[in-house]
Amino acid sequence: MNICMIGAGYVGLVSAACFSNFGWHVHCIDKDADKVAGIVDGKMPIYEPGLEELVERNVKAGRLHFSTELAEAVRDADLVFLAVGTPMRRGDGYADLRYVYQAVAEIAPHLNGFTVVTTKSTVPVGTSREIERRLRELRPDADFAVCSNPEFLREGSAIQDFTHPDRVLVGVDNERAKAKMERVYEPLRLRNAPVIFVGRESAELAKYAANAFLAMKISFINEISDLCEEVGADVQQVATAIGSDRRIGDKFLHPGPGFGGSCFPKDVSALVRTGREARAPLSLIEQVEKVNTERKIAMIPRIERAAGGEVRGKTIACLGVTFKPNTDDMRESPSLVILPMLMERGARVRAYDPQGRANAEPLLPGVEWADDALDAAEGADLLVILTEWNEFRALNLRALKERMRGRILVDLRNVMRPEVAAEEGFVYHGVGRREGA
């Protein structure tokens, strides 16, 4: 099968590499010429474990190509996947579909023979129908069908998620298109991965509903963790207890500084707007949006309390700035709210992140950057853990203490065992457990 993937971002690049590794012939197109040139040179534009080797192997095998020109790739394609960004629109919080529709206008002149055009991007319900309408208008002669194939991979484990998915979801209203989609996912079906076929509106809505549900779980445990602190309960114990109920599940029950990333905030916001427009308001999800915005800001008084009342004149070592570990993605990261607020209140911030610095530096003016955790701790009054990178789980606390001026450790991800931190002489503040415990 010939595939044309439009977009070489987190989703497009990973999907293109994985499809080519199935044996399909893939052309991955991005209009960002620097990005394409970098990939061709073997430099991945994103940090994603295993991606570089996968791309290299399939490029060498002649199955994976990168270009800025889509004409030929679309002409040859059985399937065109749209994996362009759908960011939050300024002003109204709805999904900005300009990249999707631009890509649609660009592929239209080159459709040739029966072609399935499918969205991998997260798009609001009704978008497939609108793409079909636009393509039909631009190319009344063309033989095509439009599907929805929302992507569920997670940054940091994207290849594993693509190749071992909980399910592949395809929204399709056309038998010929369904046959093509069955074929392209045949390698996963052979491995017993469930490929679920539903209507296009259901697929589109399911992606948003899934993300909103996961975001709701995070906001839920964040509020429960606040309650734990007030009543002497331990959120880790509460999460284990409720998470062992299979109806609830133990995932996404980790309290922290609020959710971020390229998906949850924008998808929650877009779903809320879809609900309002459809006159089916989603009051629960509206609350999630509000709770999460407040959550990030609420980390400031928490850090101030730990610092003895205020952070003015204090040096804060901040470990982790990405919204989650194993990625360099800074989009909507809580650090983008928390670090500037700490600096506004007169703190000096020294940050370290294993992969995020290059993306973070222009977004966080005023932050000093360190090469590792020890370097960040130099002269610090307090240490704040913001992202649960694995290397922060095994920090050498003794060495950190020697570098620091103070003894305060604010662990906003509960990566440390409080008793271990206390043994090393730290005053430990976790989330959802007794202060100093």
**Which tokens hold the place of 326?**
């194993």
- d(Cα 430, Cα 299) in Å, to the nearest integer? 12
What is the contact mask toward ligand NAD in residues 229 to 268, using x (rule: CB under 6 A)?
---------------------------------xx-----
Q: How far is the CB of 159 from ligand NAD (least distance, A)?
A: 12
Q: Catalytic residue at 28?
A: no
Q: List the one residue from 73, 77, 97, 103 that touches ligand NAD (CB under 6 A).
A: 103
**What are the beta bridge partners of residue 317?**
350, 383
Q: List the one residue from 4, 54, 64, 83 that touches ligand NAD (CB under 6 A).
A: 83
**CB of 99 or CB of 389, closer to ligand NAD:** 99
Q: Which H/E stretch holds residue 54?
A: helix 51-60
Q: Which amino acid is at 407?
A: R
Beta strands at 79-82 and 168-171: parallel, antiparallel or unpaired: unpaired
Residue 68 is given by DSSP the state S
**CB of 151 or CB of 234, closer to ligand NAD:** 151
Flag whether 266 is marked binding. yes
**Choices 26-34, 183-191, 356-364, 427-435; region in contact with ligand NAD by CB under 6 A:** 26-34
Flag whether 256 is marked binding. yes
Residue 95 phi/psi, 5-degree rounding, is -70, 130
The reply on whether position 149 binds ligand NAD by CB under 6 A is no
Residue 347 is given by DSSP the state -
- d(Cα 232, Cα 335) in Å, to the nearest integer? 28
**Which tokens hold the place of 217?**
């779980």
**CB of 98 or CB of 434, closer to ligand NAD:** 98
- d(Cα 102, Cα 95) in Å, to the nearest integer? 14
**Choices 5-13, 228-236, 290-298, 355-363; region in contact with ligand NAD by CB under 6 A:** 5-13
C-beta of residue 327 within 8 angstroms of C-beta of residue 359: no
Flag whether 169 is marked binding. no
Q: Which amino acid is at 326?
A: N
Flag whether 324 is marked binding. yes
3-state secondary structure of 349: strand
**CB of 101 or CB of 197, closer to ligand NAD:** 101
Total residues interacting with ligand NAD, rule: CB under 6 A: 28
**What are the beta bridge partners of residue 236?**
none
**Which residue in the list 28, 228, 263, 318 is annotated as catalytic?**
263
Which residues of this protein are in contact with ligand NAD, per CB under 6 A?
6-12, 29-32, 35, 83-86, 99, 102-103, 106, 121-122, 151, 153-155, 262-263
Active site residues: 263
